[in-house]
Amino acid sequence: QVQLQESGPGVVKPSETLSLTCGVSGGSVSRYYWNWIRQSPGKGLEWIGCISQSGSTKYNPSLKSRVTISVDRSKNQFSLNLSSVTAADTAVYYCARDWGYDSNGFGGWFDPWGQGTRVTVSS
């Protein structure tokens, strides 16, 4: 079955760019939508954005100016870049597959999820 694994630095300095990768095994990134979600004590679960099998993206408007999600089909993985980070971006970051959606990418559900990676923004 499909398994996801997040990777990236555990500490990022303020004002720098947070970069994470989600490796996909047991399936292809050329199918489905792929999501990034984060969880912090202060804000709960927050959807960051997603990328479709065709490479189109949807972002949370609250983060849109700082977020880029991309896919690397040769490595079967997708990535998150979040620029100009502050302490408010400290969280556990998850990747997840989205499926069951309609033709516009809505109405789906997230399964499976990666185990999550903790990112702390600190100098």
Residues in contact with other proteins by CB under 8 A are 44-47, 58, 60-62, 94, 96, 98, 100-101, 106-116
Cβ proximity to other proteins: between 73 and 109 the closer is: 109
Least distance from other proteins to the Cβ atom of residue 26, Å = 15
Pick from 16, 28, 67: which is nearest to 46 by CA? 67
Least distance from other proteins to the Cβ atom of residue 107, Å = 4
Cβ proximity to other proteins: between 9 and 100 the closer is: 100
Least distance from other proteins to the Cβ atom of residue 40, Å = 12
The residue count of the chain comes to 123
